[in-house]
Amino acid sequence: MQTTELERIAREIRIRDLQAVFEAGAGHIGGEMSAIDIMAALYFKVLKLWPDQPKHPDRDRFVLSKGHTACALYVTLAKRGFLPEEEISTFLKPHSRLNGHPNCNKVPGVETNTGPLGHGLPVAVGMAKAAKLTGASYHTYVLTGDGEMQEGSNWEAISSAAQFALDNLTLVIDHNRFQQGAALSETNNLAPFRTKLEAFGWEVLEIDGNNMSEVVDALQHRSTGRPCGIVAHTNKGHGISFMQDKVDWHHKVPNAEQYKIAMAELEEAL
Amino acid sequence: MNAVALTPKLHDCRDAFAAVLERLGAENNKVVAVCNDSVGSSKLGGFKSKFPERLVNVGIAEQNMVGVGAGLANGGMLPFVCAASCFLTGRSLEQVKADIAYSNANVKLVGISSGMAYGELGPTHHSIEDFAWMRVLPNLPVIAPCDSIETTAAVEWAAQYDGPVFLRLSRVGVPDLLPVGHKFELGKANLLRDGDAVTLIANGTLTHRMMKAADILAAKGIEARVLNMASVRPIDVEAVIKAATETGAILTAEEHSTFGGLGSAIAEVVVAEAPVSMKILGVPGIFAPTGSAEFLLDEFGMAPAAVAEAATALIARKKTGA
């Protein structure tokens, strides 16, 4: 698939995500917009998968560790054929399987339940280690937020991934520079991530995480004998001008007027 | 007087666990042991020497250990995640909740040296909250075998059960109580001794103490029923109701806080289905002092003679309706 086509898909995912969050009256739109290019690249270009066989043993694994951006994952999975696209309208509704954080026992394509931060990377290490033990060829990807890297469990996992020489594991850090309450730099600034990951023995790529060709190239990169970390520099609220780099849009919901403006901007870019 | 004439041989249930795990490891190359630098205390040395590549030691990092276990299961392995129960359940509680129980991952959590096995090391190392923490989690059977035979049976059962399991093992020596070849059944208590005056219910290291207490009571002409209830979740509702209706009083004992453990699980059934007088023995909601596990069990009123006394008082309450 061509880069321009992937970019179009990413915009369509943004539009459906915006609509779902607006209609549900809740969501985490800022971190969804920053991460959608990465998810679009994974599901429409990079991952080896079978939407009609979501548990196929050879599938590549993707773990959305920043589980609060589940809506973007649901939209992506629906667009890729894992669930009916019309089901997105049930997001956050009573008894919908599409709750605010993904449930692997209900939603096809979800690998493990996330929501509390710092869980996805250890689980991804286990997935990659299992492939090493069985000789399976699948690759494991995990997407974390940058604020999420403040959770100590991630660093336990980073250390063991290097110890186990998991070159079948790729960690993508959605480095949008903002967490729920403030900028990362004003809270507990772990940036720069490159030097820290390198100190643990990882290979590190640094990219513009909202540039599709850079995203695809980095996701397709394979390290040898060590895990790969991608520091994806992104913009919180990417694609919607008034949301961009504004901490309030971590989980704020647009009003009717803002929704109209945001939708117009996204559609214009189509 | 009431002392057992021949001292029975005591077994460390970790040995039974290790032997089964090594056998399972030989039969199934998907069996993998995950630990937190606890190769020695989890008795994984034999497994490690036989299947070095299938011993995944993540180091002293319990949250990562449980997450890695969930990931290994996702990748088709059959992980037994082994660590001191206080750390496995306490340090990793949210991982057990989200990655294992809520995700319904096929991971066997093995809490070693549970209860007050590390009695001398103090309350940081006592694991007397683990029943409470684990049994509130949906999808997660909670099992505390009473002897080496039940340990073998429970580990074999866990390996073929498709879903998460928490096995709570001790290192404190216990005599064998169940018959050789015993098969473990989830949610089923074992009737070790029948009686109609009172029912004594326990699991783990307490079951054999209940049997001794029943001997003491029998010498006084009181016939106590003894149930071994390894399965704390699901609890054997039928056996509890039967005990309540047929014996009219239930005494429980556990190497755990009296808050939220086996006694609480039984009380939940009793109050709803068949209200009778109960006595719950355990650590009474405090940080326990220093001492060996055996010392502490005695200290908290779980020596066989003290249990017999408590049972006698309970029977008196039953009669007066107090």
Could you give the CA distance from residue A106 to residue A61 in angstroms, rounded to a whole number? 17
- Summary count for chain A: helices (H), strands (E): 8, 5
Residue spans of the domains in chain B: they are 11-175, 190-320
Query: At residue B1, does pLDDT exceed 70?
Result: no
Contact predicate A136/A58, CB 8 Å: yes
Query: At residue B181, does pLDDT exceed 80?
Result: yes
Tens of pLDDT, residue by residue over A140-170, are 999 999 999 999 999 999 999 999 999 999 9
Q: Is B102 on the interface with A (CB under 8 A)?
A: yes
ipTM: 0.97
CA distance B98 to chain A (A): 6
Q: Is B71 on the interface with A (CB under 8 A)?
A: yes
Contact B70 A112 (CB under 8 A): yes
Query: At residue B19, does pLDDT exceed 60?
Result: yes
Q: Is A262 on the interface with B (CB under 8 A)?
A: no
Q: Is A137 on the interface with B (CB under 8 A)?
A: no
* pLDDT the model gives residue B6: 65
Q: How many CA atoms lie within 13 A of B286 on its CB side?
A: 8
Beta strand segments in chain B, E = 10-11, 31-35, 55-57, 78-84, 108-112, 142-143, 165-168, 174-175, 190-193, 198-202, 224-228, 231-233, 249-257, 277-283
Query: At residue B2, does pLDDT exceed 60?
Result: no
A8 band by pLDDT with thresholds 50, 70 and 90: very high
Q: Do the domains B190-320 and B11-175 match in fold?
A: yes
Binding-face residues of B in 14-43 toward A, CB within 8 A: 30, 32
Could you give the CA distance from residue B228 to residue B180 in angstroms, rounded to a whole number? 16
Contact predicate B130/B136, CB 8 Å: no
Contact B64 A157 (CB under 8 A): yes
Q: Is B44 on the interface with A (CB under 8 A)?
A: no
Q: Select B190-320's CATH number: 3.40.50.10860, 3.40.50.920, 3.40.140.10, 3.10.129.10.
A: 3.40.50.920
Contacts of B76 (CB under 8 A, 6+ apart): A57, A130, A134, A136, B30
Tens of pLDDT, residue by residue over A62-114, are 999 999 999 999 999 999 999 999 999 999 999 999 999 999 999 999 999 99
Contact predicate A43/A54, CB 8 Å: no
Q: How many CA atoms lie within 13 A of B29 on its CB side?
A: 5
Contact A163 B59 (CB under 8 A): yes
CB burial string B60-88: b at 16+ within 10 A, e below: ebbbbbbbbbbbbbbbebbbbbbbbbbbb
Tens of pLDDT, residue by residue over A115-145, are 999 999 999 999 999 999 999 999 999 999 9
Residue spans of the domains in chain A: they are 3-268
Contact predicate A41/A28, CB 8 Å: no
Candidates A113, A115, A126; nearest CB to B68: A126
Judged by DSSP in three states, B81 sits in: strand
To test the contact with chain A by mutation, choose from B29, B68, B72 the residue with the greatest count of A C-beta atoms within 10 A, namely B68
Task: Tell me which CATH code domain A3-268 carries.
Answer: 3.40.50.970
- For domain B11-175, which architecture applies? 3-Layer(aba) Sandwich (3.40)
Strand partners, B201: B227, B252
Q: Is B57 on the interface with A (CB under 8 A)?
A: no
Q: How many CA atoms lie within 13 A of B94 on its CB side?
A: 12
To test the contact with chain B by mutation, choose from A58, A112, A200 the residue with the greatest count of B C-beta atoms within 10 A, namely A112
Strand partners, B148: none
